[in-house]
Structure 1
Amino acid sequence: MTGRARFGVALPASQRRLSEALEAATIAEEAGADLVTVSDHPYLPGELDAFPLLSLLLARTERVLVAPNVTPLALRPPAMLAKSASTLQQAGAGRFVLGIGVGGPYERIPAFGGAWPTVGEAISALDEAIPLIRRLWGPAPVDHDGRYFRLKQASAGPPPEPPVPVWVGSFKPRMLAITGRHADGWLPTNAYLDLADVPDMQRRIDDAAGAAGREPDEIGRVFNVMGTISDSAPRRNDQLLVGPAEHWAHALRDYRDRLGFDSFVFWPVQGDSREQIRLFFEQVRPQLD
Protein backbone atom coordinates (compact mmCIF):
# COMPACT_ATOMS: atom_id res chain seq x y z
CA MET A 1 0.00 0.00 0.00
CA THR A 2 3.00 2.28 0.22
CA GLY A 3 4.57 4.11 -2.68
CA ARG A 4 1.83 6.51 -3.82
CA ALA A 5 -1.30 8.19 -2.60
CA ARG A 6 -4.56 6.38 -3.14
CA PHE A 7 -8.06 7.78 -2.99
CA GLY A 8 -11.12 5.71 -2.26
CA VAL A 9 -14.73 5.88 -1.14
CA ALA A 10 -16.96 4.25 1.45
CA LEU A 11 -20.29 3.13 0.02
CA PRO A 12 -23.61 2.75 1.84
CA ALA A 13 -24.22 -0.80 3.07
CA SER A 14 -27.91 -0.45 3.86
CA GLN A 15 -30.45 -2.66 2.14
CA ARG A 16 -32.55 0.27 0.97
CA ARG A 17 -29.54 1.86 -0.74
CA LEU A 18 -28.16 -1.21 -2.49
CA SER A 19 -28.77 0.07 -6.03
CA GLU A 20 -27.21 3.40 -5.06
CA ALA A 21 -24.09 1.65 -3.72
CA LEU A 22 -23.62 -0.44 -6.85
CA GLU A 23 -24.04 2.58 -9.10
CA ALA A 24 -21.73 4.63 -6.88
CA ALA A 25 -19.00 1.99 -7.22
CA THR A 26 -19.12 2.32 -11.00
CA ILE A 27 -19.10 6.12 -10.77
CA ALA A 28 -16.12 6.03 -8.41
CA GLU A 29 -14.11 3.76 -10.69
CA GLU A 30 -14.88 5.85 -13.76
CA ALA A 31 -13.93 9.01 -11.84
CA GLY A 32 -10.50 7.62 -10.97
CA ALA A 33 -10.92 6.05 -7.53
CA ASP A 34 -8.38 3.47 -6.43
CA LEU A 35 -10.53 1.79 -3.80
CA VAL A 36 -14.17 1.17 -2.83
CA THR A 37 -15.15 -0.02 0.64
CA VAL A 38 -18.24 -0.97 2.64
CA SER A 39 -18.71 -1.14 6.39
CA ASP A 40 -19.22 -4.56 8.01
CA HIS A 41 -21.83 -4.29 10.78
CA PRO A 42 -23.85 -7.51 10.44
CA TYR A 43 -25.54 -6.89 13.80
CA LEU A 44 -27.29 -3.78 12.44
CA PRO A 45 -30.66 -4.86 10.99
CA GLY A 46 -30.61 -2.28 8.22
CA GLU A 47 -27.17 -3.21 6.87
CA LEU A 48 -26.40 -5.96 4.39
CA ASP A 49 -23.75 -8.59 5.03
CA ALA A 50 -20.53 -7.10 3.73
CA PHE A 51 -18.96 -10.13 2.07
CA PRO A 52 -21.71 -10.91 -0.46
CA LEU A 53 -21.85 -7.18 -1.14
CA LEU A 54 -18.09 -7.12 -1.73
CA SER A 55 -18.47 -9.88 -4.31
CA LEU A 56 -21.10 -7.77 -6.11
CA LEU A 57 -18.75 -4.79 -6.09
CA LEU A 58 -15.94 -6.87 -7.56
CA ALA A 59 -18.30 -8.06 -10.30
CA ARG A 60 -19.42 -4.50 -11.07
CA THR A 61 -15.90 -3.05 -11.31
CA GLU A 62 -12.74 -3.85 -13.24
CA ARG A 63 -9.86 -1.90 -11.70
CA VAL A 64 -10.48 -0.65 -8.16
CA LEU A 65 -9.47 -2.40 -4.97
CA VAL A 66 -12.38 -3.57 -2.82
CA ALA A 67 -12.33 -3.87 0.99
CA PRO A 68 -14.50 -4.29 4.10
CA ASN A 69 -14.12 -1.21 6.27
CA VAL A 70 -13.64 -3.14 8.61
CA THR A 71 -14.72 -6.70 9.37
CA PRO A 72 -15.13 -7.74 13.04
CA LEU A 73 -13.01 -10.78 13.86
CA ALA A 74 -15.37 -11.83 16.67
CA LEU A 75 -18.05 -12.69 14.09
CA ARG A 76 -15.79 -14.22 11.41
CA PRO A 77 -13.31 -16.86 12.66
CA PRO A 78 -9.87 -16.88 11.03
CA ALA A 79 -10.19 -20.02 8.91
CA MET A 80 -13.46 -18.93 7.33
CA LEU A 81 -12.24 -15.35 7.00
CA ALA A 82 -9.08 -16.54 5.27
CA LYS A 83 -11.19 -18.70 2.94
CA SER A 84 -13.54 -15.83 2.08
CA ALA A 85 -10.68 -13.41 1.48
CA SER A 86 -8.81 -15.90 -0.69
CA THR A 87 -11.93 -16.55 -2.75
CA LEU A 88 -12.57 -12.84 -3.27
CA GLN A 89 -8.93 -12.24 -4.17
CA GLN A 90 -9.09 -14.91 -6.86
CA ALA A 91 -12.53 -13.90 -8.11
CA GLY A 92 -11.47 -10.25 -8.28
CA ALA A 93 -8.16 -10.86 -10.06
CA GLY A 94 -6.10 -9.61 -7.14
CA ARG A 95 -8.24 -6.62 -6.11
CA PHE A 96 -9.25 -7.57 -2.56
CA VAL A 97 -7.97 -5.98 0.66
CA LEU A 98 -8.86 -7.43 4.06
CA GLY A 99 -9.80 -4.62 6.43
CA ILE A 100 -10.10 -6.08 9.90
CA GLY A 101 -10.59 -5.02 13.51
CA VAL A 102 -12.51 -5.94 16.65
CA GLY A 103 -15.68 -4.19 15.50
CA GLY A 104 -17.74 -1.50 17.06
CA PRO A 105 -19.69 -0.51 18.93
CA TYR A 106 -18.38 -3.65 20.59
CA GLU A 107 -21.31 -4.08 22.96
CA ARG A 108 -23.45 -5.05 19.95
CA ILE A 109 -21.17 -7.94 19.01
CA PRO A 110 -21.60 -10.42 21.92
CA ALA A 111 -25.37 -10.03 21.59
CA PHE A 112 -25.04 -11.14 17.95
CA GLY A 113 -23.11 -14.28 18.86
CA GLY A 114 -19.61 -12.83 19.00
CA ALA A 115 -16.85 -15.12 20.19
CA TRP A 116 -15.69 -13.04 23.18
CA PRO A 117 -17.65 -11.07 25.76
CA THR A 118 -15.12 -8.27 26.17
CA VAL A 119 -13.22 -6.04 23.78
CA GLY A 120 -9.98 -6.85 25.62
CA GLU A 121 -10.29 -10.53 24.71
CA ALA A 122 -11.15 -9.59 21.13
CA ILE A 123 -7.97 -7.52 20.87
CA SER A 124 -5.82 -10.39 22.15
CA ALA A 125 -7.53 -12.73 19.69
CA LEU A 126 -6.81 -10.36 16.80
CA ASP A 127 -3.11 -10.39 17.69
CA GLU A 128 -3.17 -14.17 17.29
CA ALA A 129 -5.49 -14.20 14.30
CA ILE A 130 -3.67 -12.04 11.76
CA PRO A 131 -0.50 -14.19 11.59
CA LEU A 132 -2.72 -17.26 11.57
CA ILE A 133 -4.72 -15.97 8.60
CA ARG A 134 -1.50 -15.35 6.69
CA ARG A 135 -0.40 -18.93 7.40
CA LEU A 136 -3.75 -20.19 6.13
CA TRP A 137 -3.04 -18.42 2.83
CA GLY A 138 0.16 -20.42 2.47
CA PRO A 139 0.69 -23.62 0.50
CA ALA A 140 0.73 -26.06 3.45
CA PRO A 141 -2.12 -27.13 5.77
CA VAL A 142 -1.99 -25.47 9.17
CA ASP A 143 -1.95 -27.00 12.63
CA HIS A 144 -2.47 -24.37 15.31
CA ASP A 145 -3.00 -24.75 19.06
CA GLY A 146 -3.29 -21.21 20.36
CA ARG A 147 -5.00 -19.41 23.18
CA TYR A 148 -8.02 -18.45 21.08
CA PHE A 149 -7.92 -20.69 18.00
CA ARG A 150 -7.25 -24.37 17.35
CA LEU A 151 -6.94 -25.79 13.86
CA LYS A 152 -5.94 -29.16 12.48
CA GLN A 153 -4.69 -29.50 8.89
CA ALA A 154 -6.65 -26.39 7.89
CA SER A 155 -6.18 -24.66 4.56
CA ALA A 156 -7.88 -21.72 2.86
CA GLY A 157 -7.30 -23.31 -0.54
CA PRO A 158 -4.88 -22.25 -3.27
CA PRO A 159 -2.74 -19.34 -2.03
CA PRO A 160 -4.22 -16.02 -3.14
CA GLU A 161 -2.21 -14.24 -5.78
CA PRO A 162 -1.09 -11.60 -5.15
CA PRO A 163 -1.08 -11.95 -1.36
CA VAL A 164 -4.05 -10.25 0.29
CA PRO A 165 -3.08 -6.99 2.06
CA VAL A 166 -4.33 -6.69 5.64
CA TRP A 167 -5.36 -3.28 6.95
CA VAL A 168 -6.29 -2.81 10.60
CA GLY A 169 -8.79 -0.31 11.95
CA SER A 170 -7.26 0.75 15.27
CA PHE A 171 -7.25 3.62 17.76
CA LYS A 172 -6.11 2.56 21.22
CA PRO A 173 -2.53 1.56 22.26
CA ARG A 174 -2.92 -2.24 22.12
CA MET A 175 -4.61 -2.11 18.72
CA LEU A 176 -2.01 0.32 17.37
CA ALA A 177 0.72 -2.08 18.49
CA ILE A 178 -1.01 -4.93 16.64
CA THR A 179 -1.13 -2.70 13.56
CA GLY A 180 2.61 -2.09 13.78
CA ARG A 181 3.41 -5.77 14.29
CA HIS A 182 1.15 -7.29 11.65
CA ALA A 183 -0.62 -4.91 9.28
CA ASP A 184 0.05 -3.72 5.76
CA GLY A 185 -2.08 -0.64 6.38
CA TRP A 186 -3.59 1.45 9.17
CA LEU A 187 -7.26 2.34 8.57
CA PRO A 188 -8.64 4.72 11.24
CA THR A 189 -11.67 7.01 10.90
CA ASN A 190 -11.85 10.71 11.71
CA ALA A 191 -15.15 10.32 13.58
CA TYR A 192 -13.47 8.19 16.27
CA LEU A 193 -10.27 10.05 17.04
CA ASP A 194 -8.90 13.46 17.95
CA LEU A 195 -6.55 14.86 15.33
CA ALA A 196 -4.25 16.05 18.12
CA ASP A 197 -3.66 12.40 19.06
CA VAL A 198 -2.63 11.25 15.59
CA PRO A 199 1.14 11.97 15.85
CA ASP A 200 1.34 9.83 19.00
CA MET A 201 -0.75 7.12 17.32
CA GLN A 202 1.63 7.11 14.37
CA ARG A 203 4.61 6.81 16.72
CA ARG A 204 3.04 3.83 18.50
CA ILE A 205 2.62 2.05 15.16
CA ASP A 206 6.19 2.88 14.15
CA ASP A 207 7.60 1.71 17.48
CA ALA A 208 5.71 -1.58 17.32
CA ALA A 209 6.84 -2.13 13.74
CA GLY A 210 10.47 -1.52 14.70
CA ALA A 211 10.22 -3.85 17.69
CA ALA A 212 8.89 -6.55 15.35
CA GLY A 213 11.79 -6.06 12.94
CA ARG A 214 9.68 -4.30 10.34
CA GLU A 215 10.22 -1.01 8.55
CA PRO A 216 7.49 1.46 9.55
CA ASP A 217 7.15 2.71 5.99
CA GLU A 218 5.96 -0.76 4.98
CA ILE A 219 2.64 0.19 6.59
CA GLY A 220 0.26 2.36 4.57
CA ARG A 221 -1.59 5.10 6.44
CA VAL A 222 -5.13 5.25 5.07
CA PHE A 223 -7.56 7.76 6.61
CA ASN A 224 -11.33 7.33 6.48
CA VAL A 225 -12.68 10.89 6.33
CA MET A 226 -16.38 11.18 7.12
CA GLY A 227 -18.21 14.32 6.10
CA THR A 228 -20.10 16.18 3.41
CA ILE A 229 -18.99 18.34 0.49
CA SER A 230 -21.34 21.30 0.47
CA ASP A 231 -21.54 25.05 -0.10
CA SER A 232 -22.23 25.65 3.57
CA ALA A 233 -19.75 27.53 5.69
CA PRO A 234 -16.75 25.33 6.56
CA ARG A 235 -16.95 23.71 9.96
CA ARG A 236 -15.01 21.06 11.81
CA ASN A 237 -12.01 19.38 10.29
CA ASP A 238 -11.66 16.83 13.05
CA GLN A 239 -14.44 14.28 13.57
CA LEU A 240 -16.64 15.41 10.70
CA LEU A 241 -15.47 17.42 7.72
CA VAL A 242 -18.10 19.71 6.22
CA GLY A 243 -17.67 22.46 3.63
CA PRO A 244 -16.85 23.23 0.00
CA ALA A 245 -14.23 21.47 -2.09
CA GLU A 246 -11.50 23.98 -1.22
CA HIS A 247 -12.06 23.31 2.48
CA TRP A 248 -11.78 19.58 1.89
CA ALA A 249 -8.60 19.92 -0.16
CA HIS A 250 -6.98 22.13 2.48
CA ALA A 251 -7.88 19.66 5.24
CA LEU A 252 -6.65 16.59 3.36
CA ARG A 253 -3.36 18.32 2.54
CA ASP A 254 -2.99 19.01 6.26
CA TYR A 255 -3.74 15.39 7.11
CA ARG A 256 -1.12 14.32 4.60
CA ASP A 257 1.65 16.83 5.30
CA ARG A 258 1.28 17.28 9.06
CA LEU A 259 -0.29 14.01 10.25
CA GLY A 260 1.39 11.53 7.90
CA PHE A 261 -1.53 9.93 6.07
CA ASP A 262 -0.66 8.82 2.56
CA SER A 263 -4.15 7.83 1.32
CA PHE A 264 -7.77 8.78 1.94
CA VAL A 265 -11.19 7.16 1.83
CA PHE A 266 -14.03 9.66 1.38
CA TRP A 267 -17.03 8.63 3.49
CA PRO A 268 -20.07 10.77 2.61
CA VAL A 269 -22.51 10.98 5.50
CA GLN A 270 -25.25 13.12 3.96
CA GLY A 271 -26.84 13.39 0.55
CA ASP A 272 -26.69 11.06 -2.40
CA SER A 273 -23.39 9.18 -2.33
CA ARG A 274 -23.23 9.20 -6.13
CA GLU A 275 -23.28 12.99 -6.32
CA GLN A 276 -20.90 13.33 -3.37
CA ILE A 277 -18.42 10.97 -5.03
CA ARG A 278 -18.59 12.95 -8.27
CA LEU A 279 -17.88 16.16 -6.36
CA PHE A 280 -14.94 14.59 -4.54
CA PHE A 281 -13.20 13.37 -7.68
CA GLU A 282 -14.07 16.37 -9.84
CA GLN A 283 -13.39 19.15 -7.35
CA VAL A 284 -11.32 17.85 -4.41
CA ARG A 285 -9.03 15.19 -5.81
CA PRO A 286 -7.43 17.43 -8.51
CA GLN A 287 -6.27 19.86 -5.80
CA LEU A 288 -4.23 17.18 -4.02
CA ASP A 289 -1.53 16.45 -6.59
Structure 2
Amino acid sequence: MRIGVIFYAKTEWEDVLAAAKEADQSRIDAIGIGDRYYGDADDPFLSGLTLYGALAVATQRVNLVPMVLSHPNMQIGRLAKETTMLAMMSHGRFELGIGVGDYPLEPHAWGEPWPAGHERVDALEETIMVLQRVWTGEHVTFEGRYLHTQGAGCRPVPARPPRIVIGAGRSSYLVRSAIKYADEINVWGEDMLRQASLHIAQSRRPIQLSIGWDQEVAAFEQQVEALEKMGVSRVYFNLWHPFTSLPALCNVAEKLA
Protein backbone atom coordinates (compact mmCIF):
# COMPACT_ATOMS: atom_id res chain seq x y z
CA MET A 1 0.00 0.00 0.00
CA ARG A 2 1.42 3.36 -1.04
CA ILE A 3 0.54 6.70 0.53
CA GLY A 4 0.07 9.98 -1.28
CA VAL A 5 -0.37 13.36 0.38
CA ILE A 6 -2.25 16.29 -1.14
CA PHE A 7 -1.43 19.64 0.45
CA TYR A 8 -3.99 22.43 0.77
CA ALA A 9 -2.76 25.86 1.79
CA LYS A 10 -3.64 29.52 1.39
CA THR A 11 -0.48 31.64 1.32
CA GLU A 12 2.02 29.34 3.04
CA TRP A 13 4.21 28.29 0.09
CA GLU A 14 7.31 27.94 2.25
CA ASP A 15 5.45 25.54 4.52
CA VAL A 16 4.27 23.50 1.52
CA LEU A 17 7.84 23.32 0.27
CA ALA A 18 9.12 22.21 3.67
CA ALA A 19 6.39 19.56 3.91
CA ALA A 20 7.21 18.32 0.41
CA LYS A 21 10.86 17.91 1.37
CA GLU A 22 9.85 16.05 4.54
CA ALA A 23 7.71 13.67 2.48
CA ASP A 24 10.54 13.22 -0.02
CA GLN A 25 12.87 12.11 2.77
CA SER A 26 10.32 9.56 4.03
CA ARG A 27 8.54 6.61 2.40
CA ILE A 28 5.62 8.75 1.22
CA ASP A 29 5.01 7.70 -2.38
CA ALA A 30 3.45 10.84 -3.88
CA ILE A 31 2.67 14.46 -3.15
CA GLY A 32 0.37 16.94 -4.81
CA ILE A 33 -1.37 20.26 -4.30
CA GLY A 34 -5.12 20.75 -4.37
CA ASP A 35 -6.08 22.19 -7.75
CA ARG A 36 -8.33 25.19 -7.41
CA TYR A 37 -7.53 28.37 -9.30
CA TYR A 38 -10.59 30.30 -8.18
CA GLY A 39 -12.76 30.20 -5.08
CA ASP A 40 -13.77 33.83 -4.93
CA ALA A 41 -12.06 37.05 -5.89
CA ASP A 42 -10.20 37.23 -2.55
CA ASP A 43 -9.24 33.56 -2.21
CA PRO A 44 -5.43 33.17 -1.80
CA PHE A 45 -5.50 29.41 -2.46
CA LEU A 46 -2.19 27.93 -3.70
CA SER A 47 -2.41 25.86 -6.89
CA GLY A 48 -1.13 25.63 -10.45
CA LEU A 49 1.30 23.62 -12.55
CA THR A 50 4.03 26.18 -11.83
CA LEU A 51 4.26 24.78 -8.29
CA TYR A 52 5.13 21.32 -9.61
CA GLY A 53 8.15 22.72 -11.42
CA ALA A 54 9.43 24.05 -8.10
CA LEU A 55 8.67 20.75 -6.37
CA ALA A 56 10.42 18.79 -9.13
CA VAL A 57 13.62 20.73 -8.45
CA ALA A 58 13.26 20.67 -4.65
CA THR A 59 12.69 16.90 -4.36
CA GLN A 60 14.51 13.82 -5.61
CA ARG A 61 12.40 10.72 -4.98
CA VAL A 62 8.72 11.36 -4.35
CA ASN A 63 6.22 11.25 -7.22
CA LEU A 64 4.36 14.44 -8.14
CA VAL A 65 0.64 13.85 -8.69
CA PRO A 66 -1.97 16.63 -8.97
CA MET A 67 -5.14 15.35 -7.36
CA VAL A 68 -6.59 16.42 -9.65
CA LEU A 69 -6.34 18.95 -12.46
CA SER A 70 -9.70 20.04 -13.82
CA HIS A 71 -9.73 19.21 -17.51
CA PRO A 72 -12.21 21.96 -18.49
CA ASN A 73 -9.56 24.46 -17.35
CA MET A 74 -6.85 22.96 -19.58
CA GLN A 75 -6.05 23.85 -23.19
CA ILE A 76 -4.67 20.74 -24.93
CA GLY A 77 -1.53 22.26 -26.48
CA ARG A 78 -0.44 23.98 -23.30
CA LEU A 79 -1.23 20.86 -21.27
CA ALA A 80 0.97 18.80 -23.61
CA LYS A 81 3.89 21.19 -23.20
CA GLU A 82 3.51 21.67 -19.44
CA THR A 83 3.28 17.95 -18.70
CA THR A 84 6.24 17.22 -20.96
CA MET A 85 8.37 19.78 -19.18
CA LEU A 86 7.34 18.50 -15.75
CA ALA A 87 8.10 14.91 -16.76
CA MET A 88 11.56 15.99 -17.82
CA MET A 89 12.26 18.26 -14.82
CA SER A 90 11.20 15.53 -12.39
CA HIS A 91 13.06 12.77 -14.26
CA GLY A 92 9.84 10.85 -14.79
CA ARG A 93 8.26 11.41 -11.38
CA PHE A 94 5.39 13.59 -12.62
CA GLU A 95 2.06 11.81 -13.12
CA LEU A 96 -0.91 13.48 -14.79
CA GLY A 97 -3.68 13.42 -12.20
CA ILE A 98 -6.72 14.83 -13.98
CA GLY A 99 -10.51 14.73 -13.84
CA VAL A 100 -13.56 16.39 -15.35
CA GLY A 101 -14.04 19.04 -12.67
CA ASP A 102 -16.80 19.59 -10.12
CA TYR A 103 -16.60 23.32 -9.54
CA PRO A 104 -18.39 25.40 -12.22
CA LEU A 105 -17.76 28.63 -10.31
CA GLU A 106 -14.23 28.70 -11.74
CA PRO A 107 -15.07 28.87 -15.45
CA HIS A 108 -18.17 30.99 -14.82
CA ALA A 109 -16.06 33.63 -13.08
CA TRP A 110 -13.93 33.99 -16.20
CA GLY A 111 -16.70 33.75 -18.75
CA GLU A 112 -15.84 30.20 -19.81
CA PRO A 113 -18.44 27.50 -20.60
CA TRP A 114 -19.24 24.58 -18.31
CA PRO A 115 -20.33 21.60 -20.43
CA ALA A 116 -22.63 18.85 -19.20
CA GLY A 117 -21.06 16.01 -17.25
CA HIS A 118 -21.07 13.41 -20.03
CA GLU A 119 -19.54 15.95 -22.41
CA ARG A 120 -16.71 16.66 -19.97
CA VAL A 121 -16.02 12.94 -19.61
CA ASP A 122 -15.95 12.33 -23.36
CA ALA A 123 -13.78 15.41 -23.97
CA LEU A 124 -11.27 14.21 -21.39
CA GLU A 125 -11.04 10.84 -23.13
CA GLU A 126 -10.21 12.54 -26.42
CA THR A 127 -7.57 14.70 -24.76
CA ILE A 128 -5.81 11.72 -23.19
CA MET A 129 -5.89 9.84 -26.49
CA VAL A 130 -4.04 12.70 -28.16
CA LEU A 131 -1.60 13.30 -25.30
CA GLN A 132 -0.53 9.67 -25.20
CA ARG A 133 0.40 9.87 -28.87
CA VAL A 134 2.05 13.29 -28.66
CA TRP A 135 4.23 12.19 -25.72
CA THR A 136 5.81 9.55 -27.98
CA GLY A 137 6.88 12.17 -30.52
CA GLU A 138 4.06 11.57 -33.00
CA HIS A 139 2.54 14.45 -34.97
CA VAL A 140 -1.16 13.91 -34.39
CA THR A 141 -4.05 14.67 -36.66
CA PHE A 142 -7.24 13.91 -34.78
CA GLU A 143 -10.88 14.59 -35.58
CA GLY A 144 -13.06 13.97 -32.58
CA ARG A 145 -16.30 15.41 -31.34
CA TYR A 146 -14.59 17.89 -29.04
CA LEU A 147 -10.96 17.95 -30.14
CA HIS A 148 -9.52 18.68 -33.56
CA THR A 149 -5.79 18.68 -34.24
CA GLN A 150 -3.76 19.01 -37.43
CA GLY A 151 -0.26 17.59 -37.18
CA ALA A 152 -0.04 18.61 -33.51
CA GLY A 153 3.19 17.71 -31.74
CA CYS A 154 5.28 18.59 -28.73
CA ARG A 155 9.07 18.42 -28.59
CA PRO A 156 11.24 17.52 -26.80
CA VAL A 157 9.70 14.17 -25.94
CA PRO A 158 9.81 12.90 -22.32
CA ALA A 159 11.92 9.82 -21.69
CA ARG A 160 8.69 8.02 -20.85
CA PRO A 161 5.10 9.27 -20.97
CA PRO A 162 3.58 10.40 -17.66
CA ARG A 163 1.23 7.97 -15.98
CA ILE A 164 -2.44 8.87 -16.32
CA VAL A 165 -4.23 9.06 -12.96
CA ILE A 166 -7.93 9.73 -13.43
CA GLY A 167 -9.78 11.29 -10.52
CA ALA A 168 -13.18 9.71 -11.03
CA GLY A 169 -14.57 10.61 -7.61
CA ARG A 170 -18.07 9.16 -7.51
CA SER A 171 -18.70 9.16 -11.27
CA SER A 172 -19.48 5.71 -12.65
CA TYR A 173 -19.55 7.14 -16.16
CA LEU A 174 -16.01 8.47 -15.82
CA VAL A 175 -14.80 5.12 -14.45
CA ARG A 176 -16.24 3.31 -17.47
CA SER A 177 -14.52 5.77 -19.79
CA ALA A 178 -11.20 5.76 -17.93
CA ILE A 179 -10.71 2.00 -18.07
CA LYS A 180 -9.93 2.46 -21.77
CA TYR A 181 -6.84 4.59 -21.18
CA ALA A 182 -5.97 5.17 -17.50
CA ASP A 183 -2.99 3.79 -15.62
CA GLU A 184 -4.74 4.48 -12.32
CA ILE A 185 -8.29 5.34 -11.32
CA ASN A 186 -8.93 7.23 -8.11
CA VAL A 187 -12.38 7.10 -6.49
CA TRP A 188 -14.19 8.14 -3.33
CA GLY A 189 -16.26 5.79 -1.18
CA GLU A 190 -16.63 2.03 -0.77
CA ASP A 191 -19.41 1.71 -3.34
CA MET A 192 -17.27 3.33 -6.01
CA LEU A 193 -14.33 1.15 -5.01
CA ARG A 194 -16.39 -1.95 -5.68
CA GLN A 195 -17.69 -0.63 -8.99
CA ALA A 196 -14.24 0.46 -10.17
CA SER A 197 -12.65 -2.82 -9.09
CA LEU A 198 -15.23 -4.76 -11.13
CA HIS A 199 -14.76 -2.60 -14.24
CA ILE A 200 -10.98 -2.89 -13.98
CA ALA A 201 -11.17 -6.68 -13.71
CA GLN A 202 -13.44 -6.87 -16.73
CA SER A 203 -11.16 -4.60 -18.78
CA ARG A 204 -8.16 -6.90 -18.29
CA ARG A 205 -5.94 -3.84 -18.47
CA PRO A 206 -3.21 -3.32 -15.82
CA ILE A 207 -4.98 -0.42 -14.10
CA GLN A 208 -4.21 0.46 -10.51
CA LEU A 209 -6.94 1.52 -8.11
CA SER A 210 -6.62 4.28 -5.53
CA ILE A 211 -8.85 6.15 -3.13
CA GLY A 212 -9.07 9.61 -1.59
CA TRP A 213 -9.06 9.71 2.21
CA ASP A 214 -10.40 12.39 4.56
CA GLN A 215 -10.55 10.35 7.76
CA GLU A 216 -7.99 10.18 10.55
CA VAL A 217 -4.69 8.36 10.09
CA ALA A 218 -5.65 5.86 12.81
CA ALA A 219 -8.84 4.95 10.94
CA PHE A 220 -6.79 4.26 7.83
CA GLU A 221 -4.41 1.97 9.69
CA GLN A 222 -7.37 -0.07 10.89
CA GLN A 223 -8.64 -0.51 7.33
CA VAL A 224 -5.42 -1.13 5.42
CA GLU A 225 -6.00 -4.86 5.06
CA ALA A 226 -9.61 -4.39 3.90
CA LEU A 227 -8.56 -1.78 1.36
CA GLU A 228 -5.84 -4.03 -0.02
CA LYS A 229 -8.35 -6.87 -0.41
CA MET A 230 -10.51 -4.50 -2.47
CA GLY A 231 -7.58 -3.87 -4.78
CA VAL A 232 -6.45 -0.45 -3.52
CA SER A 233 -2.76 0.18 -4.18
CA ARG A 234 -2.50 3.87 -3.21
CA VAL A 235 -4.35 6.13 -0.78
CA TYR A 236 -4.27 9.94 -1.06
CA PHE A 237 -4.65 11.90 2.17
CA ASN A 238 -5.89 15.49 2.01
CA LEU A 239 -3.92 17.65 4.45
CA TRP A 240 -4.72 21.27 5.24
CA HIS A 241 -2.12 23.65 6.54
CA PRO A 242 -0.34 23.32 8.97
CA PHE A 243 -0.10 19.63 7.94
CA THR A 244 0.05 18.31 11.50
CA SER A 245 -0.73 14.75 10.37
CA LEU A 246 2.27 14.50 8.06
CA PRO A 247 4.72 12.99 10.58
CA ALA A 248 2.19 10.28 11.44
CA LEU A 249 1.68 9.54 7.75
CA CYS A 250 5.42 9.30 7.25
CA ASN A 251 5.53 6.72 10.03
CA VAL A 252 2.69 4.73 8.51
CA ALA A 253 4.34 4.82 5.10
CA GLU A 254 7.51 3.42 6.69
CA LYS A 255 5.54 0.55 8.23
CA LEU A 256 3.83 -0.29 4.94
CA ALA A 257 6.93 -0.05 2.74
TM-score, structure 1 as length reference: 0.80
The equivalent of 1:159 in structure 2 is 157
* In structure 1, distance between residues paired with 2:73 and 2:111: 7
| Superposed counterparts of 1:126-205, under 5 Å | 126-170=124-168, 171-188=170-187, 193-205=188-200
The offset of 1:286, in angstroms, is 4.3
* In structure 2, distance between residues paired with 1:38 and 1:48: 8
The equivalent of 2:8 in structure 1 is 12
Letter in 2 for 1:252: V
State whether structure 2 residue 253 is matched by structure 1 residue 285: yes
Letter in 2 for 1:50: G
The offset of 1:108, in angstroms, is 3.8
Q: 2:73 aligns with which of 52, 72, 75?
A: 75
Cα deviation 1:114-151 (Å, max 9, x = unaligned): 45432222112112111111112122322222211122
The offset of 1:159, in angstroms, is 1.8
Does the CA-based 8 Å contact 1:141-1:155 persist in structure 2? yes
* In structure 2, distance between residues paired with 1:20 and 1:261: 30
* In structure 2, distance between residues paired with 1:53 and 1:31: 21
Cα deviation 1:165-218 (Å, max 9, x = unaligned): 111001322100122111001122xxxx432442123213433xx2xxxx33x1
Does the CA-based 8 Å contact 1:221-1:262 persist in structure 2? yes
Secondary structure of the residue aligned to 2:146 is coil
- Taking structure 1 as reference, are residues 119 and 279 closer, same or farther at Cα in structure 2, changes over 3 Å only? same
Query: For structure 1, which runs of at least 5 residues remain unmatched after alignment?
Result: 227-240
More deviation, 138-147/165-174: 138-147
The equivalent of 1:47 in structure 2 is 45
The offset of 1:164, in angstroms, is 0.8
Q: 1:223 aligns with which of 180, 201, 211?
A: 211
* In structure 2, distance between residues paired with 1:118 and 1:106: 10
Q: 2:235 aligns with which of 261, 264, 276?
A: 264
Letter in 2 for 1:184: D
* In structure 2, distance between residues paired with 1:111 and 1:117: 15
Letter in 2 for 1:99: G
* In structure 2, distance between residues paired with 1:89 and 1:131: 18
The equivalent of 1:59 in structure 2 is 57
- Taking structure 1 as reference, are residues 110 and 202 closer, same or farther at Cα in structure 2, changes over 3 Å only? farther
Does the CA-based 8 Å contact 2:2-2:256 persist in structure 1? no
* In structure 1, distance between residues paired with 2:114 and 2:29: 35
The offset of 1:285, in angstroms, is 2.9
The equivalent of 2:120 in structure 1 is 122
Does the CA-based 8 Å contact 2:63-2:94 persist in structure 1? yes
- Of the two structures, which has the highest relative contact order with CA contacts closer than 8 Å and spacing of 6 or more? 2
- Taking structure 1 as reference, are residues 161 and 115 closer, same or farther at Cα in structure 2, changes over 3 Å only? farther
Secondary structure of the residue aligned to 2:78 is helix
Cα deviation 1:15-45 (Å, max 9, x = unaligned): x121111110001111221211112111223
Does the CA-based 8 Å contact 1:98-1:165 persist in structure 2? yes
| Identity of matched residues, % | 24
Query: For structure 2, which runs of at least 5 residues remain unmatched after alignment?
Result: none
Q: 1:30 aligns with which of 25, 30, 40?
A: 25
* In structure 2, distance between residues paired with 1:197 and 1:51: 28
* In structure 1, distance between residues paired with 2:196 and 2:250: 29
The offset of 1:113, in angstroms, is 4.4
The offset of 1:155, in angstroms, is 1.0
